[in-house]
Amino acid sequence: MIFAAKPGWMSRQARDALLGPLFDRNPITHYVLGICIALAVTASLQTTLIMCMAVTVVLCGSNTIISAMRHQIPGSVRIIVQVTVIASLVIVVDQFIKAYAFELSKSLSVFVGLIITNCIILGRVEAFAMKNPPWLSFLDGLGNGLGYSLVLIIVATIRELLGSGTLLGYTVLPSAYEGGWYVPNGMLLLPPSAFFIIGLLIWASRSVRPGKK
Amino acid sequence: MQADHSNPNHSNQRAFAVALVVCVVCSALVIAAAVLLRPVQQANRLLERQTNVLAAAGLLEPGKSVEALSKQLDSRLVDLASGEFVEVEDPEHFDARKAARDPTQSIALTPEQDIAQIKRRANYARVYLVWNKAGDLKTIILPVHGYGLWSQLYGFLALESDGNTVVGLSFYEQAETPGLGGKVDDPRWKRLWPGKRVYDEQWRPAIQLVKGAVNRKSPEASHQVDALSGATLTTRGVEDLLRFWLGPDGFGKFLAKMRKGGN
């Protein structure tokens, strides 16, 4: 069914749905969406990776499901239906994380549950999945998930490396507290530092491609 | 969007029907995930608790599984009002946080009593005992919690069989400022605790966290631990919660009984 979607499974349109959100239409640097989660979870790379996976799975799932149902959903209740589907997917993903990545689920705490309110997901469902076939919507979800992950991973790498001197928990810059030479910058562990880093990333990406608004 | 009644997608019945079907299917999905994954999640929680208890008692050994090590933990329920053990089938089933919220299983604390800022205290608490090979009591591990600067700190205090000498203190759940108050689970700070005495000669809680370094020559030094630098309120929270749980509203009566060899 999905593969029989009309525009061909890797047409130009499909490539654009997948690759566009990575750079040109990146949900964070272009639309500035989903920032609160980006601030909260990026103090360490490991929690960020789990968060990125969770967001990507929910994006792909909700886009595909809503797209498959799009002709059945009455306009008057479409937001309710969309949020119900998104919320259910988020709860299922949260349960899986609690079961199979228990240690990380503690540091993610409420933020997995808050994916429900992430504007990127409802935004993609409403703006894309309601108008496009499932395969394209799936690619759009994947593209946005990866685009979101790309930015979060850059932010988390900077924050964990300079804030704790580690990457994925392994010591890269031996910290002065444990006898090394690097004095970790504690500010990078606090949420406001993510604001600065994301701000600089948005500036950088818009300077490289000034034509895009 | 204007309602278009000629289009069946826009009629009210249809809206209700679609919403209902979506809700039922989604609920089934969520219930299935919660029920099927619950055993794994519960096992995770038990394992985590045992890891924390072992860590506080200094019994964690690299390379040995927590399941094997936790066999030496003897978990018991204690009635805090009397200090006596309570006989139950499986103390691991006791949920201390749920009990503290339930008015039938907890007491409200007056502001004078509530130095740890926990508002309600459960009537029972789960403690862990470790016995040596000869069958003598080696370590008593007590759950403690209280408010720091931003969050409730949850941890375990491990005492020697005299009910006074600290074996270890460790917090497994806190949301204090990273790098400052968050250092309550810093291994270097935790190493300051073993050997300290929590009570004075009259068996009053005497543990103190002092700014700067502890003067080792002072007669009080055995009750004093360095405060966390830059984290006055978290430090005060730790001191208050230890004083609460060691005092008459906490484990005071239980520890007095253990000292007399009662129970």
- Chain segment B103-161, per-residue pLDDT in tens: 999 999 999 889 888 889 999 999 999 998 888 889 999 999 999 888 889 999 999 98
Chain A contact set for B177 (CB, 8 A): 190
Mean pLDDT of B184-209: 88
B3 pLDDT band, cuts 50/70/90, is: very low
CA A189 to chain B, closest CA, distance in angstroms equals 7
**The residue count for chain A:** 213
Residue B45, pLDDT above cutoff 60:
yes
**pLDDT score at A119:** 86
The 8-class DSSP code of residue A134 comes to: H
Low-confidence ranges of chain A (pLDDT < 50): 1-5, 213
What is chain B's mean pLDDT, rounded?
Answer: 87
Q: Three-state DSSP class for B230?
A: coil
B26 vs A84, A100, A186: nearest CB:
A84
The B-side interface with A (CB below 8 A) comprises 1, 3, 9-12, 14-15, 18-19, 22-23, 26-27, 29-30, 33-34, 37, 40-41, 44-45, 48, 173, 177-180, 188
- A92–B48 CB contact, under 8 Å: no
- B9–A92 CB contact, under 8 Å: no
Which ipTM score applies to this complex? Answer: 0.76
CA B245 to chain A, closest CA, distance in angstroms equals 25
**pLDDT tens digits for range B160-172:** 988 899 999 988 8
CB A104 within 8 A of CB A94: no
Enter the tokens of residue B134. 């000869």
CB B126 within 8 A of CB B96: yes
CA B30 to chain A, closest CA, distance in angstroms equals 6
Positions of E strands within chain A:
166-167, 170-171
The Cα A118–Cα A125 span in angstroms is 12
The A-side interface with B (CB below 8 A) comprises 43, 71-77, 80-81, 84-85, 87-88, 91-92, 95-96, 98-100, 102, 106, 177, 184, 186, 189-190
Chain A contact set for B43 (CB, 8 A): none
Enter the tokens of residue B33. 């995930």
B33 pLDDT band, cuts 50/70/90, is: very high
**pLDDT tens digits for range B68-106:** 888 888 889 999 999 899 988 888 888 888 888 899 999
* Number of neighbours of residue A109 by Cβ within 10 angstroms: 13
- B41–A88 CB contact, under 8 Å: no
**pLDDT score at A153:** 94
Q: What is the 3-state secondary structure (H, E, C) of A165-193?
A: CEECCEECCCEHHHCCCECCCHHHHCHHH
**pLDDT tens digits for range A102-156:** 888 877 867 888 888 888 999 999 999 999 999 999 999 999 999 999 999 999 9
The Cα A136–Cα A113 span in angstroms is 26
